[in-house]
Amino acid sequence: MTKPPVEIINLAERQKEKLQKPEIQTVDHPSGFSVRIPEGFEVKEGRLYIIVSEGKGENKITFPVHLIRTFPIITRSLTNIERSEFYYELCWQNEGRLYKEVVPALTISTAVELKKISNMSLAVNDNNAKNLINFFDKFLLLNNVPSTEMVERLGHVEKSFVHPLHTDGLEILPGDIGEKQIFEAFQSSGSSKEWIETVLKLVEPHPKALLMLISSFTSVILKDLKLGPFIIDLSGPTSKGKTTLLKAAASVWGTEHLVSEWNGTAVSFERKSAFLNSFPLILDDSMKADERQLQRFIYNFSGGRSKGRGSVSGSQKEFSWNNLMLSTGETSLVDYAERAGGAAARVLPIKGLPFKDPDHIFFSELYTAIETNHGTVGMEFLEHWQKNVKELLPLYYQHNEMFQKKSNGNEVVSRIARHYSAIYFTAGLLMKFFNAPLDLGWLEVLFDEIMEENKSVDKPMQMLEALLTDLDASRECISGKYESKMEMKAIYKDGTLYLLPAYLKEFLGVEMNAIRNEWLRRGITLGTDRDGKKTDTRQLKHLRKKYRPVPFNPEVIEKIGFDFEEEE
């Protein structure tokens, strides 16, 4: 008898297998997706079952066993464009409510992580976690899940600029509830024209308030100007409109909920800064902050990167940002960090009342304007800037050159001037983009006033005055015609005040060398040539002893208002 060809046998076996193989179940999910259910699972009445078998051979039977009281599916996959991290969006219905939750890929791969989402109404437990992981794995093989790109923060991300109301096709997924609250505060109402005619018009006659308001726009263009993070700090008496001003600054981008209070931890501020990224961090009332952390946070914020922290397996993720901080308080931030010279270069301190002689009608009108018009002007500002950035950039460098001349070689003022130039430049952009009624001359005058009234921007003179004040309060530490009665800090001889290096080191700390070099360069101390090099110390014989102190220019000390002449 002739045997059938091998091809016919294989075809017959494949047809037999096809008949024996169960059909793939297709189910309409409440989310609107029609999905295929992997073999070994079944959906009945909105619940997911697993197919189990008992017995062998002809006695083998299969039947469904309840797995979970809901029917979870994966609706899409997401890729973080900043880091090669993968996420999935899970979707399920529970008691008539549809839930959607984006989780890391690790969550649907390990039982420990999957059980963590049980508090989101997905009934995962020790008994079903392993089988659910198997279900998700087979589900992805069987269904074509759409994919998209995502970010975890706003502003400049890779080559895109992400605004909550204009995402450039990217999905924004805030990392936590705090970030989600900030995200939801980005709203728009009214028009740019109405914002200019109401909010800006009310603030414009008040230069200090106007500076803070314009700075809210400046924050988003810092990266394009190649400038780092910076702090604008307004300090003055309480209940004089500082909080209202911050709400006006927040109205550039959204509601007043963009304003946070200073009563938080350093980590929370770091995460808010990182999430906002390019948008301004707005903090009210520095009196509520932990004074011990303020100096450190000023440095951390202006550095644009969170503090490095360790983890069990290595190092935690570091956050970064490049924006402005708008802060208010009764006391200036630089006063909290009086001896930190670097802090002064990181803060533009504005002191005094933001509004001159306002009445209740003024504040009532401003609040109404903010509630009616917010968010729209910021979006339109970004659109104009992104279209014209290349042709407008040279103008910033012209403004910077003008303010650099005002610094007169003072390094701290020079650093502040770069950011002040950016604010001045932004005011010009508002005039160009929206025909805003601004007088740039007032901002030039305000820069001179701020520099004049803030000694902290001239760190060498600030520390000299602090030294002289300390000596003036402890004259018994100065040796003149007679021996000092306590540990000697200085010598007063022939009309010149000499400070001992040990006292300078104790008072100035790690900044001693930098400040002494600046004193010598500016003629505050009297230099001496020694071996071809200029030094600020000189040999001095006093009361039969020899010293090598630092002599100070009598004219400078007299100009500051100190006199250490001894009475007979």
Top-confidence range, 7-21, 67-81, 208-222, 396-410: 208-222
What local confidence, expressed as pLDDT, does residue 120 receive?
81
Give residue-wise pLDDT tens across range 91-110.
Answer: 999 888 999 999 999 999 99
Q: Is this structure's pTM higher than 0.85?
A: no
Distances (CA, A) of 91 to 30, 33, 267: 9, 10, 32
Give residue-wise pLDDT tens across range 112-154.
Answer: 999 988 888 888 999 999 999 999 999 999 999 999 999 999 9
What local confidence, expressed as pLDDT, does residue 49 receive?
93
* Contacts of range 555-564, beta carbons closer than 8 Å, 24 or more positions apart: 556/464, 556/523, 556/524, 557/468, 557/497, 560/461, 560/464, 560/465, 560/468, 562/468, 562/472, 564/471, 564/472, 564/475, 564/478, 564/480, 564/492, 564/497
Cβ partners under 8 Å of residue 460, min gap 6: 515, 518, 519, 522, 524
What local confidence, expressed as pLDDT, does residue 214 receive?
97
Residue 9 has, within 13 A of its CA and on its CB side, a CA count of: 4
Reduced to 3 states (helix: H, G, I; strand: E, B; else coil), residue 47 is: strand
Terminal Cα distance for the chain, rounded: 142
Give residue-wise pLDDT tens across range 326-351.
Answer: 999 988 888 776 544 456 678 898 98
Top-confidence range, 432-446, 449-463, 480-494: 432-446
Q: What amino acid is encoded at 508 in this protein?
A: L
Q: Which residue has the tokens 């549809």?
A: 98
How many C-beta neighbours within 10 Å does residue 119 have?
8
Angle between helices 512-521 and 501-508 in degrees, nearest 10:
120
Distances (CA, A) of 150 to 91, 166, 179, 275: 18, 13, 15, 14
| Arithmetic mean of pLDDT, 5-9 | 49
Residue 74, both tokens: 């994966």
Give residue-wise pLDDT tens across range 487-510.
Answer: 899 999 999 999 999 999 999 888
